[in-house]
Amino acid sequence: MKLIIISNRLPVTVALEKQNIKIRPSAGGLVTGLSDYLNSLKGEKDESVFSFKPLWIGWPGEEFKENLAGEVRTILQREFNSYPVFIPSALMENFYNGFCNKTIWPLFHYFPSRAVFDESQWTAYEKVNELFSQEISPLLEPGDTVWVHDYHLMLLPQLLREKLNNIAIGFFLHIPFPSYEMFRLLPRRWGVKILEGMLGADLIGFHTHDYTQHFLKCVLSILGYEHSMGKVLLKDRMIKAETIPMGINFKKFYDLAASKEIEKEKANLKAKWLDQKVILSIDRLDYTKGILNRLEGYEIFLSNNPHWHGKVVLMMVVVPSRIGVEHYRMMKRQIDEQVGKINGKFGSLDWMPIIYQYKFLPLKQLVALYSLSDVALVTPIRDGMNLIAKEYLASRTDGTGVLILSEMAGAARELGEALIINPNDRADIAAALKRALEMPPEEQKGQIEAMQRRLRRYDVVKWGSEFINELFTIKETQRRFEARLLGVQQEVLIKDYLQARSRIILLDYDGTLVPFASDPRLVRPNEEVVEVLKRLSADPKNEIVIISGRDRKTLEEWFAGLEIGLVAEHGVWLRRKNKNWRMLKPLENGWKQELLPVLEIYVDRLPGSFIEEKEFSLAWHYRACQPELASVRANELVDYLVDFTSSTDIQVLHGSKVVEIRCAGINKGVAGLSWLMENDYDFILAAGDDWTDEDLFKVLPEKAYSIRVGIANTNAKYNLLNYQDVLKLIKKLCGSEE
């Protein structure tokens, strides 16, 4: 079993310089963090669950002609255990600079006005994800673990699932997942495909609880899948969405900051600023980072606190990013102008309030700045996590320093001791700067040490290990469900059926013999269902019974001419083969008139819902309604009805997209027993799809075959995935399966 990491970029970047292949490390927190986690596995060869060195798959950074592509692939596999996915330049432009950075990036960071909805760019996104899938699939083997990363490859998990189902697939999103109101701005078919793509994974990871909940709400509102504690039951398996915030290599930063080399670098920098307090701002050039807001907040601070003039300096480093994009060029000009304005307004011959550098800093210089700076100003307008805040804290070996952190950064959920600000409130930033610069060392140490303990304990290795362990746990849960599927045991069932002298088959209708529909009144049995029931009932050894929540008039109309038994309203009415209807026990239905007005109120409050009135029960259906509001209204209604009927002989049932009120003491189990007690059947089969069928499963004898349709906890012995599988089984029983 091997671990395969998949990301848009490889941990190294390959370039062709004067016909020579040059390889250099890739930049970025994702590459750094994952590399640190993978390096930790090297020391666990005896304990690691993976049999082979992890393989990293991604784009090498450039397009290569065919004669060089093979050489690049060989070098990457041999020296870096990496496998390149080559993407044509034109396609990469539409994919990366197009859909990824002009649609997903702004939309997921809550900048909808910057989002572009271009069909050709969406097509490029699909093509690149498919290209990754085609390249990766031949490398996979059953039992492998695949970990897909970030927003560039959100379609990939499902594409891989379709090609090879018996692998563990994890997906981690390193940027925010937006609210439903923001996500729905995507064309619906794009949004559906993205959600389905992510649901191809067994475990989907997010940095914060908010992002996880946003994702689950979108899954409910757009795809209709509900969740329980983050677990989502799909048609064929269970998956989980989980909050697993990414850490850093705390020890690496702490030890490096304490090294003599960094102390020397720090001393050289300190000599330039003498007794000035240093505020550090370091970010990639991006509109999500709030750099202009930060500068404006600093300007307000200088205006309000003239006594700090000459005593403080803002060391601002902006790392170049997406230089070819107009938005970024414009932002660079605005930053240059703002820095010049503040320095011109407040500076003097012997003091500049801002030292501004537009360049990439190597790790040692960066750690020296972290270690030197009295205050770190980290104020993104929206950020998935923000590892700079954590790196600053890890570099504070003397326990002093103050972190000013945006509440919009994912890291704010973990670093509550920092000075948390709203990045859009410039006055808030200015006030936080004053408080940070004047904070006593004892208070600084209390805050820093509390956050350092947390970061040391939950570092990047713990993050990676927790994700992989959780992925294995989900796979084990799936295997337990799969063990209940009627697979190999199906042949035993058929054999027992053929050898039996007297058989009874008890079948639910909706969701068991036919699919659910938005309007349950329209789901008549098709020719296939009628024919298979006719063949089964033609065998004199068989007793076939449809046990449904439908009313008797509907059942009688739909199954007219078939020699089968019928149970209506979950057991209120019974009709044996070729006999008249009779009630299981005397009931009264005067209570319906009291509850009908209540249900009518909820019909008005939930568009698309409707009432189905039966002789001795009422049903409020909401399958066609907006899922999230429907869930709220249904729970409200159930709570009210349970309280309203608490002293009556009335039962409230919350089924699959339906709330039903019926007389107590009547259920499918009682109805089924009325048949089982009349004959000594040596073959019993019962199938149903929801919890109303559990009453029947509970009363069946040990020898019976009970089947729950769908993946769910159940009293049934076995599961089948869907109604098609039920029909296939029944066809096999009557010999009509091809």
Q: Are 250 and 459 in contact (CB under 8 A)?
A: yes
Tokens of 671: 């109805």
Distance CA 631, CA 703 (A): 38
| Closest CA relative to residue 174, chosen from 424, 417, 467, 391 | 467
CA 156 to each of CA 172, 341, 362, 715: distance values in angstroms, whole numbers, following the listed order: 12, 47, 33, 36
The answer to whether the CB of 705 falls within 8 A of the CB of 723 is no
CA nearest 58: which of 103, 111, 125, 13? 13
Separation CA 35–CA 464 (nearest Å): 10
The tokens 């410039």 sit on which residue?
A: 426
Tally the C-alpha atoms within 13 A of residue 545's C-alpha that lie toward its C-beta. 29
Q: How far is Cα 242 from Cα 238, in angstroms, rounded to an integer?
A: 13
Please check whether residue 248 is in contact with residue 31, taking contact to mean a CB–CB distance below 8 angstroms: no
Judge whether 11 and 25 are in contact, CB under 8 Å: yes
CB 421 within 8 A of CB 477: no
Q: Which of 202, 374, 508, 695 is catalytic?
A: 508
Residue (of 474, 420, 497) closest to 705 by Cα position: 497
Place of tokens 């080399």: 261
Three-state SS string over 638-674 comes to HHHHHHHCCCCCEEEEEECCEEEEEECCCCHHHHHHH
To which residue do tokens 């409910």 refer?
Answer: 220
The residues that bridge with 719 in the sheet, in sequence order, are: 485, 708
Q: Which residues neighbour 635 within 8 Å (Cβ) at sequence distance 6 or greater?
A: none
User: What tokens does 339 get?
Assistant: 């820095």
The number of CA neighbours under 13 Å toward the Cβ of 646 is 6
- Phi, then psi, of 255 in degrees rounded to 5: -65, -40
User: Is 210 one of the annotated active-site residues of the chain?
Assistant: no
Cβ pair 627, 220 in contact under 8 A: yes
How large is the C-alpha radius of gyration of the chain? 32
In 3D space, the residue among 213, 246, 245 whose CA is nearest the CA of residue 232 turns out to be: 213
Please answer whether residues 671 and 584 qualify as being in contact, where contact means their C-beta atoms are separated by less than 8 angstroms.
yes
List CB contacts of 211: < 8 A, sequence separation 6 or more: 173, 176, 177, 243, 384, 410
Q: Residue type at 385?
A: M
Helix axes 387-394, 363-372, angle to 10 degrees: 70
Which residues have CB under 8 Å from 69's CB, separation 6+?
Answer: 84, 86
Containing 293, the helix (H) or strand (E) segment is helix 291-304
- Tell me which residues are annotated as active site: 508
